[in-house]
Amino acid sequence: MSTSFGAQPSSSISKSEFLSSLPRWRRWLSRLNWHPVVEYEIREIEFERRKIEHENRKIECKNRKIEHENRKIEHKKRMKQLESEIARLEQANSRLERFEREHLSGSTPPPSTGDSCS
């Protein structure tokens, strides 16, 4: 034997719609059983959930900023490496040019290799 006190609330209807579908005595009884604490707790839980989501977004934003700063630092390091490499190559080029001027100018003939055919 089952006892039913009216229609059960559906997730698709609001609380007021559900209560209006009940008989008058059941609506009055539901007012006696109304617990605002439950609704308050639900709102508080929702507030805490939103607060946590907000904090997570702030943390993600900070992480992105840190990653951006790390990329900038890595870029600066790479640029310094390239600048030092360019400076080293420029020194090598200047030494090579000086060598060419000193040794390959028209004043002295290049040394023979001993492969002359005459």
pLDDT digits (tens, 9 = 90+) for 8-61: 544 567 777 877 888 888 877 777 776 666 677 888 999 999 999 999 999 999
Residue 9 CB neighbours (<10 A)? 14
Question: Which of 15-29, 64-78, 97-111 tops mean pLDDT?
Answer: 64-78
pLDDT band at 69 (very low <50, low <70, confident <90, very high): very high
Q: What is the pTM of this model?
A: 0.46
H or E stretch at 29: helix 24-32
- Whether residue 77 is predicted with pLDDT greater than 50 in this model: the reply is yes
